[in-house]
Amino acid sequence: MLKAWFHRDRPTTALIYQYGLSFPSGHAMMSMAYYGCLAWLAVQHGGRWGWATLLIGWSVLIGLTRVYLHVHYPTDVVAGFAGGVAWLVLLRTGIRLFWKENKKLSSKQAGEAAVNI
């Protein structure tokens, strides 16, 4: 939807021609969301900061290749990274709220079961 909203053409000097619009970079956005999620899981469930750094570095490398191949402007990639981080934060917040709700429901159900005994 963002590409249709901004309607920015790709650079004409592309080493590999790509169809479609340029802003924001979908590759950068999805790589940051996906590898950012994996990095978050690596830190949360194992404290593996090294893996998290490698995963985020891989995501940045994907964005840099888009600029190197001239299929995106640098601002496209930065906006893609920002969109990926925003999407990741939104999903993580939703999951935390969902877990809190499930914990309340399960504790409420356990309390009702104890009363019925």
Enzyme catalytic residues: 27, 72
3-state secondary structure 37-59: HHHHHHHHHHCCHHHHHHHHHHH
Helix (H, G, I), strand (E, B) or coil at 65: helix
CB of 70 closer than 8 Å to CB of 14: yes
Q: Which residues of 8-25 are buried (b: 16+ CB within 10 A; e: fewer)?
A: bebeeeeeeeeeebbbbb
